[in-house]
């Protein structure tokens, strides 16, 4: 019996093309004993009937819920195309013996570069300057001086896969680097020139606050009204992680009142945001539709990582980067004797 892999259909454009370009599908075509196709899931919850008969799923944005797994007797792997897995009920997967994997190697460089891009664009007020030119206000540019980064303080909220790469990229810029992460290795941070501090200290001292932590119950609204009030009035907030880590209503209020200099957001509490959301009308915020890191490099890296996870399981190997290794003890997976 072939090992069947299903990809969620949101990888496709309306005319049937892979919207991401090359995501490494040639490796699936070349694999022996493997069949693959697209399942009928574009957004929302993946229905159980869509996954019956599949051994592995490669998932972009649709949600894998406990109901998705009902009757999925063959399913042993959900491979996320990316590192966020808030659209996957990991506990339900573990109970059902379904391993969940992510692709940190694919996102590390592209997301860190995009985070730095947003930081620099906000610091140089690039969005506002773009609008000046388009509006014929060339000579108003003296009113839109930016903020240099040399000698300024970068505060990283989360110093994991992305945060560490961002530290490396920013090292030549001559910035003082702080990080707030209870799980970070102090020796590794010190070797990278990063000082680990409490979050409130970071917010009080940073000129640029960069959110790079994972969304968990503990980090939901981690940056709330009280913590936003602790930021410098000249500081910028950049979020390339997940929208609900920041209280968006509170952020909108401090931006409206000019209590921080500005923000750059690739993510929102609700995606897509309501077109009437007052945040969208502000001049001191730079916005991207959760796609600032979307490049050919990211697409191929994530695709290769997710596909390799599926091929590993098909070949009886334990894949890299499982987020629920406890699932390996489930009879469904232990019977496969992954090595």
The reply to whether 271 belongs to the active site is yes
Burial of 272 (0-12, 13-18, 19+ CB in 10 A): exposed
The reply to whether 290 belongs to the active site is yes
Cβ–Cβ under 8 Å, residues 61 and 8: yes
Q: What is the DSSP letter of 189?
A: H
Q: How far is CA 315 from CA 48, 58, 122, 223, 337, in A?
A: 25, 17, 47, 44, 10
The reply to whether 242 belongs to the active site is yes
Q: Which two tokens stand for residue 332?
A: 């469904």
Single out the residue of 114, 161, 104 nearest to residue 306, CA to CA.
Answer: 104
Cβ–Cβ under 8 Å, residues 46 and 63: yes
User: From the candidates 290, 297, 317, 332, which is the catalytic residue?
Assistant: 290
The Cα–Cα gap between 60 and 83 comes to 10
Q: How far is CA 23 from CA 11, 72, 101, 291, in A?
A: 10, 26, 17, 16
Query: In the sheet where 176-180 sits, what is the strand order?
Result: 194-196, 176-180, 153-157, 208-211, 236-239, 262-265, 285-287
Q: Where do runs of H (alpha helix) occur along 4-79?
A: 26-30, 48-51
Single out the residue of 229, 243, 234 nearest to residue 262, CA to CA.
Answer: 234
User: From the candidates 96, 108, 164, 242, which is the catalytic residue?
Assistant: 242
Query: In the sheet where 3-8 sits, what is the strand order?
Result: 34-39, 3-8, 56-59, 77-80, 99-101
Catalytic residues: 242, 271, 290
């Amino acid at each position: 019996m072939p090992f069947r892999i299903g990809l969620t259909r949101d990888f496709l454009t309306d005319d049937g093309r892979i919207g991401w370009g090359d995501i490494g599908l040639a490796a699936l075509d070349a694999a022996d004993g493997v069949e693959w196709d697209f399942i009928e899931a574009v957004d929302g919850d993946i229905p159980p009937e869509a996954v019956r008969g599949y051994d592995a799923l490669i998932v972009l944005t649709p949600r894998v819920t406990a109901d998705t797994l009902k009757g999925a007797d063959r399913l042993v792997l959900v491979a996320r195309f990316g590192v966020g897995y808030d659209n996957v009920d990991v506990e339900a997967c573990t109970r059902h013996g379904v391993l969940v994997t992510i692709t940190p190697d694919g996102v590390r460089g592209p997301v860190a570069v995009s985070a730095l891009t947003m930081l620099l664009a906000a610091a140089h007020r690039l969005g506002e300057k773009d609008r000046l030119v388009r509006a014929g206000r060339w000579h108003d540019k003296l009113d839109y001086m930016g903020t240099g980064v040399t000698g300024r303080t970068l505060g990283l909220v989360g110093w994991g896969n992305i945060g560490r790469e961002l530290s490396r990229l920013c090292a030549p810029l001559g910035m003082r680097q702080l990080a707030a992460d209870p799980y970070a290795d102090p020796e590794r941070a010190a070797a990278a020139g990063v000082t680990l501090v409490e979050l409130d200290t970071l917010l009080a001292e940073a000129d640029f606050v960069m959110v790079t932590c994972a969304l968990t119950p503990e980090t939901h609204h981690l940056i709330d009204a009280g913590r936003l009030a602790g930021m410098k009035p000249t500081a910028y907030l950049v979020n390339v992680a997940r929208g609900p880590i920041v209280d968006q209503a509170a952020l909108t209020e401090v931006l409206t009142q000019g209590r921080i200099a500005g923000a750059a957001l690739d993510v929102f509490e609700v995606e897509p945001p309501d077109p009437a959301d007052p945040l969208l009308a502000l001049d001191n915020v730079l916005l991207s539709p959760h796609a600032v890191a979307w490049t050919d490099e990211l697409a191929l890296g994530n695709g290769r990582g997710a596909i390799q996870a599926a091929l590993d399981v098909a070949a009886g190997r334990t894949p890299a980067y499982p987020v629920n290794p406890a699932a390996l003890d489930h009879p469904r997976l232990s019977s496969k004797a992954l090595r």
